[in-house]
């Protein structure tokens, strides 16, 4: 039996004393001891803020994203080691895949998300706002990494995914992390952190690990820190109420276990593909990870006329689940994480049985394969039936965190929506229906009480990721009992670790602050057309003002013939009474094409490889025959691209602000175009 070590202040340090004994959930044998006794928690926080934070803050989003990608690739080389340890937590191969490779998948997802951020250490958030009529005063929001540390207090059910899905977000944001996994399965978390530290990919101080009690860690938090918590609602409330957390206004993101529900639509009947999907999904949610998932289905609502049929089919499906040693290839459900968890689940089930009855499974017996049912923390799947959910508060308040769900009837979709809300907020709900009107009514009616809603039918049956699978780029969290938090969520998740600040000033000053050209700022022109410059040579604000081009009626008709766009406003014979125009008007896309003809450096080969696209194109004023137009063309932003394969042309993406003016110097159109530009070197 080994003593787990804590990784703090750049060193692997064992806790003082004997520590808490951790057990193999399948055999009941001791695996390790864990302790944080003697750890200087104030020092751990100080080290993260003073060492890890500056190192991450000076990196750009693109550099941090590539760091996550490198970390994910490294961890994939050690999967066999992680799986071998994961089996000791009672997890099957499928359970472990979700935990281990699902967690690594989060690193890949957030690595890719770097492209949504600038190649800077900060983020320019949203559009600029002109605050004066003359265009000399404006405002822009930017977001900078907080100067503190992210403290993650995680649950026992996903010792790898729980850590990686959270640190992917804060590391991309530029904030270090202190991970405090649930002690009972922390030996798996420790193994993964060992490989992370050994890789040398993260800067010093970016990640620390506490295997054991959090001690007085929260008593030393500051307003620059962020806390995320996953676990029970009662424990989360206790931590959130810490006087230091309240006095310092420390952001506290909580994802609590909740009474998630699944609804079978009234349109679904036995024999339909949706019926089979429903039975399969409920069975999966009850047995995957032995039901120990914060997103697990605890309440099952079905039309009253189908309760008996659903009960029969679910019982048949559950009876086919082989329970036992996860190392046995036939086993589909392992054990709970430990004997303590099993006892807690049984206690909660007894509370539920005050108003519900057991219709599948046994409280005191389970057949297991290749294991000892008494020594291991095994439990039969338990399906309960409650015929009166309106007058049974237990089913909407008590969660048995294991393979336990309660089946309940409803009459009409309005009832199903109301019953779903009686859980007082959940992480996820699923509606299984083939009827679009039912899906719409349920989502709009129940959306206030659930962080995520899966609409499941035959169309997405094969590709959907399931009721219980939060995805990196979507919000993971929920209102009310679920904690009110938002873990992950793509860019939204990253912003939890950034401070938004509104910057006001002149266009020139805001261009300097953001390193993005702001409309109205002075342009730079050294006499060389910007298309003749390599990516590295281009400067933000580099600008040309083109010659003018006269727009004629013949031009407009020729473009109409060439494009096939003979919209009435482009035809001279149109009666323009009761229209928005005075007469024949040029196509907006023709004006944009003319603009390209004016600003493109034609004929001569140059470092511009191709036109990559157009963003935010607007036509702001009609252009009539006889009008001359010209363009102000400015280098707005530069985004480098890494080479994915040998032999690729080294390149980057350049965003250009295109402002089209008429001969009255009034704006007729504005757009951001993107070009792919060759770099001198990789």
Domain membership flag for residue 486: no
The region of weakest confidence among 415-429, 432-446, 488-502 is 488-502
Alpha carbons 221 and 202: distance in angstroms, whole number = 23
pLDDT given at position 81: 97
- When pLDDT is averaged across residues 25-47 and rounded to a whole number, the result is 96
Q: What is the pLDDT of residues 197-249, one digit of tens each?
A: 999 999 999 999 999 999 999 999 999 999 999 988 888 889 999 999 999 99
pLDDT given at position 682: 63
Question: Quick one: 218 and 290 in the same domain?
Answer: no
Q: What is the pLDDT of residues 482-495, one digit of tens each?
A: 888 887 788 999 99
Q: What are the CA-CA distances from residue 648 to residues 115, 625, 644, 655 (Å)? A: 19, 46, 7, 21
Place of tokens 């809300």: 421
CB proximity list for 619: less than 8 A, separation 6 or greater: 588, 591, 668, 669
Neighbours of 418 (CB within 10 A): 15
- When pLDDT is averaged across residues 139-158 and rounded to a whole number, the result is 96
* Longest Cα–Cα distance in the chain: 93
Token couple for 588: 């907006």
Question: Quick one: 274 and 248 in the same domain?
Answer: no
What CATH number is associated with residue 251? 3.40.605.10
Question: Whole-number mean pLDDT of the chain?
Answer: 95
- When pLDDT is averaged across residues 517-525 and rounded to a whole number, the result is 96
The region of weakest confidence among 48-57, 305-314, 617-626, 644-653 is 644-653
Question: Quick one: 86 and 157 in the same domain?
Answer: yes
Residue 255 known to be catalytic: yes
What CATH number is associated with residue 463? 3.40.309.10
pLDDT given at position 470: 85
pLDDT given at position 31: 94
Question: Quick one: 212 and 162 in the same domain?
Answer: yes
Which residue among 285, 294, 399, 659 is the active-site one? 294
- Residue 475's DSSP bridge partners are 488
Rounded to 5 degrees, φ, ψ at 672 are -115, 120
pLDDT given at position 471: 87
Domain membership flag for residue 505: no
Q: What are the CA-CA distances from residue 72 to residues 47, 77, 277 (Å)? A: 25, 9, 33
The region of weakest confidence among 163-172, 344-353, 463-472, 507-516 is 463-472
Question: Quick one: 577 and 465 in the same domain?
Answer: no
Question: Quick one: 185 and 61 in the same domain?
Answer: yes
pLDDT given at position 246: 96
Domain membership flag for residue 390: yes
Split into its structural domains, the chain has a count of 3
Question: Quick one: 205 and 277 in the same domain?
Answer: no
Q: What are the CA-CA distances from residue 219 to residues 236, 246, 247 (Å)? A: 15, 11, 11
Question: Quick one: 47 and 11 in the same domain?
Answer: yes
Question: Quick one: 445 and 520 in the same domain?
Answer: no
Domain membership flag for residue 377: yes
Alpha carbons 570 and 459: distance in angstroms, whole number = 43
Cβ density class 470-507: b for 16+ within 10 Å, e for less:
bbbbebbbbbbbbbbbbbbbbeebbbbbbeeeeeebbb
**For residue 288, how far is the Cα from the chain centroid?**
22
Domain membership flag for residue 504: no
- Residue 656's DSSP bridge partners are 635, 673
363: left (phi over 0), alpha (psi -120 to 50) or beta: alpha
Q: Pick the more confident residue, 612 or 277.
A: 277
Alpha carbons 129 and 504: distance in angstroms, whole number = 9
What CATH number is associated with residue 533? 3.10.129.10
Question: Quick one: 444 and 295 in the same domain?
Answer: yes
Place of tokens 């860690």: 217
- State which residues form the domain around 225: 2-128+137-256+492-498
8 Å CB contact between 224 and 147 = yes
Residue among 193, 199, 23, 178 nearest 103 (CA): 193
Domain membership flag for residue 485: no
What's the pLDDT band for 642 if we cut at 50, 70, 90? confident
The answer to whether residue 1 scores a pLDDT higher than 80 is: no
Q: What is the pLDDT of residues 379-392, one digit of tens each?
A: 999 999 999 999 99
Q: What is the pLDDT of residues 559-573, one digit of tens each?
A: 999 999 999 999 999
8 Å CB contact between 655 and 639 = yes
Alpha carbons 432 and 457: distance in angstroms, whole number = 6
Alpha carbons 434 and 611: distance in angstroms, whole number = 43
Q: What are the CA-CA distances from residue 301 to residues 231, 346, 404, 671 (Å)? A: 25, 23, 14, 50
User: Residue 327 class from Cβ within 10 Å (0-12 exposed, 13-18 middle, 19+ buried)?
Assistant: middle
Domain membership flag for residue 357: yes
pLDDT given at position 266: 97
Question: Quick one: 440 and 530 in the same domain?
Answer: no
Which residue among 255, 285, 486, 659 is the active-site one? 255
- Residue 610's DSSP bridge partners are 676
What's the pLDDT band for 429 if we cut at 50, 70, 90? very high
Question: Quick one: 326 and 228 in the same domain?
Answer: no
Cβ density class 622-633: b for 16+ within 10 Å, e for less:
bbbbebebbbbb
The vertex-645 CA angle with 644 and 651, nearest 5°, equals: 60
User: Residue 205 class from Cβ within 10 Å (0-12 exposed, 13-18 middle, 19+ buried)?
Assistant: buried
Neighbours of 111 (CB within 10 A): 23
């Amino acid at each position: 039996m080994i003593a787990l070590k804590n990784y703090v202040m750049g060193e692997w340090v064992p806790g003082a004393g004997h520590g808490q004994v951790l057990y193999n959930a399948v055999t009941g044998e001791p695996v390790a001891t864990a302790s944080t006794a003697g750890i200087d928690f104030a020092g751990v926080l100080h080290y993260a803020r003073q060492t890890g934070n500056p190192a991450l803050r000076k990196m750009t989003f693109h550099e941090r994203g590539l760091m996550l990608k490198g970390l994910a690739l490294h961890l994939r080389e050690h999967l066999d080691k992680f799986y071998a340890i994961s089996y000791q937590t009672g997890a099957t191969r499928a359970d472990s895949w979700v935990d281990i490779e699902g967690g690594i998948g989060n690193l890949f997802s957030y690595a890719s998300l770097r492209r949504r951020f600038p190649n800077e250490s900060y983020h320019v958030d949203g559009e600029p706002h002109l605050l004066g009529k003359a265009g000399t005063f404006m405002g822009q929001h930017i977001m900078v990494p907080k100067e503190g540390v992210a403290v993650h207090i995680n649950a026992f059910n996903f010792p790898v995914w729980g850590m990686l899905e959270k640190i992917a977000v804060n590391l991309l944001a530029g904030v270090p992390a202190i991970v405090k996994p649930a002690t009972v399965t922390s030996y798996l978390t420790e193994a993964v952190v060992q490989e992370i530290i050994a890789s040398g990919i993260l800067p010093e101080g970016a990640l620390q690990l506490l295997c054991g009690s959090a001690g007085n860690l929260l008593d030393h938090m500051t307003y620059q820190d962020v806390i995320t918590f996953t676990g029970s609602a009662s424990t989360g409330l206790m931590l959130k109420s810490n006087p230091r957390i309240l006095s310092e206004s420390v952001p506290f993101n909580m994802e609590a276990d909740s009474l998630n529900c699944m609804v079978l639509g009234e349109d679904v009947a036995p024999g339909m593909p949706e019926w089979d999907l429903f039975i399969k999904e409920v069975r999966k949610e009850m047995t995957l990870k032995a039901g120990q998932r914060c997103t697990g289905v605890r309440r099952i609502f079905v039309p009253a006329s189908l309760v008996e049929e659903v009960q029969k089919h679910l019982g048949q499906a559950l009876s086919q689940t082989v329970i036992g040693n996860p190392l046995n290839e036939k086993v589909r459900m392992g054990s709970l994480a430990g004997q303590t968890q099993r006892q807690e689940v049984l206690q909660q089930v007894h509370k539920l049985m005050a108003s519900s009855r057991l219709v599948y499974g046994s409280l005191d017996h389970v057949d297991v394969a290749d294991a000892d049912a008494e020594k291991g923390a095994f439990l039969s799947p338990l399906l309960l039936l409650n015929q009166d959910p309106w007058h049974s508060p237990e089913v909407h308040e008590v969660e048995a965190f294991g393979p336990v769900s309660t089946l309940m009837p409803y009459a009409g979709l309005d009832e199903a929506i109301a019953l779903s809300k009686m859980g007082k907020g959940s992480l996820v709900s699923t509606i299984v229906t083939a009827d679009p009107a039912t899906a719409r009514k349920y989502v709009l009616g129940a959306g206030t009480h659930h962080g995520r809603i899966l609409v499941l039918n035959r169309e997405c049956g094969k590709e959907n990721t399931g009721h219980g699978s939060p995805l990196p780029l979507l919000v993971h969290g929920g209102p009310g009992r679920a904690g009110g938090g938002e873990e992950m969520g793509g860019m939204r998740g990253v912003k939890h670790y950034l401070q938004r600040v509104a910057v006001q000033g002149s266009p020139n000053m805001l261009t300097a602050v953001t390193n993005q050209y702001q409309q109205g700022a002075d342009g730079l022109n050294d006499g060389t057309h910007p298309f003749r410059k390599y990516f590295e040579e281009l400067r933000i604000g580099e600008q040309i003002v083109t010659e003018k081009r006269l727009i004629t009626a013949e031009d407009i008709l020729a473009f109409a013939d060439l494009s096939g766009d003979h919209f009435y406003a482009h035809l001279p014979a149109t009666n323009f009474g009761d229209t928005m125009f005075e007469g024949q008007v040029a196509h907006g896309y023709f004006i944009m094409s003319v603009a390209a003809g004016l600003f493109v450096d034609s004929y001569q080969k140059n470092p511009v490889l191709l036109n990559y696209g157009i963003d935010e194109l607007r036509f702001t004023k009609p252009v009539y025959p006889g009008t001359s137009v010209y363009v102000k063309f400015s280098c707005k932003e530069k985004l480098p691209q890494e080479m994915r394969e040998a032999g690729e042309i080294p390149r980057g993406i350049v965003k250009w602000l295109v402002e089209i003016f008429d001969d009255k110097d009034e704006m007729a159109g504005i757009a951001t175009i993107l070009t792919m530009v060759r770099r001198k070197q990789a």
